[in-house]
Amino acid sequence: MSSFKFPVINPLLHNELRLKIMVALDSLESANFMYLCEITGSTRGNLSVQIKTLQEAGYLEVSKSGSGPSARSVCRITRKGMEVLHVYEQGLRRLFSERVPGDKESLQKIG
């Protein structure tokens, strides 16, 4: 019997759009809302909701530059955000590298 233990996967990051936002901001110093819309290929409404969720979790910080209708939201990843993303990625890599051969076997049995 294998001694493999499943890594704990952060449910907050296990969402396509939230993951895209976090990875994009991890590779940049900061980005505005429009750039994140473009890079993630999402709608403004959906992006806004997911950014708020990540902000409430303390993974992102959002600051407003300017005022009035021309105000822009600038997003940055926090230290906590960087750490959870790193742990999440490591967890996925472990899961992928150690479970996939087993999966192929089970797939063959099913087939």
Partner 1 sequence: MTTTNRGNATSDELDIITRIRGEVMGNREPTGENLFLAWGYPAAFFLLLQFVALLIWNEAWCYWIWLGTEFVGIPLMVYFLRKDYERTGHRSLNSNVILQMWIYVGCACVIGAVAMGMAGVFEYCFCSLIALLSSMGCFLTGLILRFRPKTVCGVIGTALSFVSLFFQGDLWPWQMLITAIVTIITLIIPGHLFKQYVKNYELI
* Residue 75 to residue 10: CA distance in whole angstroms: 21
With 0-12 / 13-18 / 19 or more C-beta atoms within 10 angstroms meaning exposed / middle / buried, residue 2 is: exposed
Would you mind telling me the total number of residues written for the chain in this entry?
111
Binding string, residues 39-78; x marks residues near partner 1 by CB under 8 A: xx-------------------------------x------
Distance from CA of residue 69 to its chain's centroid? Answer: 29
Are 92 and 111 in contact by the 8 Å Cβ rule? The answer is no
The residue within the footprint of partner 1, chosen from 4, 12, 24, 69 (CB under 8 A), is 24
Select from 43-51, 52-60, 103-111 the region that touches partner 1 (CB under 8 A). 103-111
Which one of 8, 12, 16, 42 is in contact with partner 1 (CB under 8 A)?
16
Q: What distance in Å separates the CA atoms of residue 93 and residue 21, rounded to the nearest whole number?
A: 19
Q: Does 14 bind partner 1 (CB under 8 A)?
A: yes
61's enclosing H/E stretch is strand 60-65
| 56 versus 103: smaller Cβ distance to partner 1 | 103
Binding site for partner 1 (CB under 8 A): 14, 16, 19-20, 23-24, 26-32, 34-35, 38-40, 72, 89, 92-93, 95-96, 99-100, 102-103, 106-107, 110
